[in-house]
A = this chain, B = another copy of it.
Amino acid sequence: MKNQKRTTIYDIAKKLNLNASSVSRALSNNSNVSEATRKLILDTAKELNYKQNSLASNLRKGHNQTIGVIVPRINQNYFADVIAGIEEVTYQKGYNLVICQSNESSAREVKCVNTLINQHVSCIVISLSADFEDDKHLQTIKEHGIPLIQFDRVAEHLDTFKVLNDNEQASIDAVSHLIEQGYKRIALLEGPQNLNIFRQRKAGYLAALKKFNVPVLPELIKENAWTKELGAESTKELLNLAEPPDAIFASTSDFSALGVLEVATKMGLKVPEELGICGYSNEAFTEITSPSITTIDQYSVSMGKTIANLYFQEIESSEKDNNPKIVSIKPKLIVRSSTLRNKTED
């Protein structure tokens, strides 16, 4: 069952007393082959169970119709959705997807990049790992002439195609909403500031406070509260302050917000009356917690489609060296019970 040679165009050619070039042409269905021999070739191809060897074809053509995707984690809703969106479009175009996960480690990210370069992929799509510091590997991609599309977590100063969420505006919307609901002391759970997305979310938080002339209180800003556990921990500290916050914006993730909710519930605080909670990402579960959690939807699937379309429209089609384009998608604030104490708005 193993090691059996697969039939090649030469096998077909030999059987029909033809040249391999004719077989190739008949199979690719375009050039100068008579209808009679074409049918003959197609038939024996089927008969001999012929399948094209993409390796050889791609080597000859100098490209393989494959897009490489590197994400921190495959099994994280946001990234899985983006990938699904990319796949949806690339499949239509007959392209393939090679998926790598960096596991939030930039060392591993570098290895993934090298593999994809070796594979001669047509394009690399990447969202950076949490410990991002150095963009040398991204430079390498550019040096090899491979189109590069960064999304979500990006190296901002690097001149590449980018598909982004407007994290700052989303945060402004969220915090503004909290203020409008009458919350006075709004805490922020922030993520690692080496990542653009968390910097932007913090900036949005600060901008919104400024807009409403609300003073910034450093003791209400908690670093490193990414996970549910860390979110819970930070919440305990916040709620034990002499003057605790009356709302918490978990800008890191909905998981963090869930940690907030669980601690608040455990401590007997009423949500949203005594504590407002806002998360980020619109994970499926935010809709079914009690109370349901206000959050921000990132249109992840459509973001994936945007990425793929960007490649096909801007990069693959035209040969001219157009400037890398930046597409920004505006996320949407999803208001739910966890921040709705001003019932007039509902």
The size bracket of the interface on A is 35 or more
Cβ-neighbour of A87 out of B74, B97, B118 (below 8 A) = B74
Cβ-neighbour of A2 out of B83, B84, B91, B321 (below 8 A) = B321
B51 pairs with A2, CB closer than 8 A: no
A73 at the interface (CB under 8 A from B): yes
Q: Which residue of B lies closest to A63 (CB)?
A: B55
User: What residues on B are CB-neighbors of A210 within 8 Å?
Assistant: none
User: What residues on B are CB-neighbors of A118 within 8 Å?
Assistant: 51-54
User: What residues on B are CB-neighbors of A19 within 8 Å?
Assistant: none
A288 at the interface (CB under 8 A from B): yes
**Residues of chain A in range 182-235 having any CB-CB distance to chain B below 8 Å:** none
User: What residues on B are CB-neighbors of A98 within 8 Å?
Assistant: 66, 96-99
User: What residues on B are CB-neighbors of A101 within 8 Å?
Assistant: 84, 87, 91
A21 at the interface (CB under 8 A from B): no
Closest beta carbon of chain B to A321's beta carbon, Å:
6
Instruction: Identify which of A33-41, A137-145, A168-176, A243-251 touches chain B.
Output: A137-145
Q: Which residue of B lies closest to A143 (CB)?
A: B49
B51 pairs with A4, CB closer than 8 A: no
A117 pairs with B51, CB closer than 8 A: yes
User: What residues on B are CB-neighbors of A2 within 8 Å?
Assistant: 145, 319, 321
Cβ-neighbour of A75 out of B73, B81, B100 (below 8 A) = B81
A284 at the interface (CB under 8 A from B): yes
A290 to B289, CA, bound (A): 7
A75 to B1, CA, bound (A): 34
Cβ-neighbour of A99 out of B54, B75, B99, B290 (below 8 A) = B99
B53 pairs with A59, CB closer than 8 A: yes
A77 at the interface (CB under 8 A from B): yes
A135 to B54, CA, bound (A): 24
Closest beta carbon of chain B to A309's beta carbon, Å:
18
Contact with B along A309-343 (1 / 0, CB 8 A): 00000000001010000000000000000000000
Closest beta carbon of chain B to A333's beta carbon, Å:
21
**Residues of chain A in range 1-33 having any CB-CB distance to chain B below 8 Å:** 1-4, 6
A290 to B51, CA, bound (A): 54
Q: Which residue of B lies closest to A117 (CB)?
A: B51
Cβ-neighbour of A51 out of B49, B99, B114, B319 (below 8 A) = B114
A contacts, CB < 8 Å to B = 1-4, 6, 49, 51-56, 58-59, 64, 66, 73-77, 80-81, 83-84, 87, 91, 96-101, 108, 114-115, 117-120, 140, 142-145, 258, 284-285, 288-290, 301, 319, 321
Besides the known contacts A51-B144, A53-B120, 7 further A-B residue pairs in the complex with CB atoms under 8 A apart: A54-B115, A75-B301, A87-B99, A91-B108, A96-B100, A97-B99, A290-B290
Can you pick out 25 interface pairs between chain A and chain B where the beta carbons lie within 8 Å of each other? A1-B142, A1-B321, A2-B321, A3-B319, A6-B145, A51-B144, A53-B59, A54-B118, A56-B59, A73-B84, A74-B83, A74-B84, A75-B81, A77-B77, A80-B80, A83-B99, A87-B100, A91-B100, A91-B101, A96-B100, A96-B115, A97-B98, A285-B285, A288-B288, A289-B289
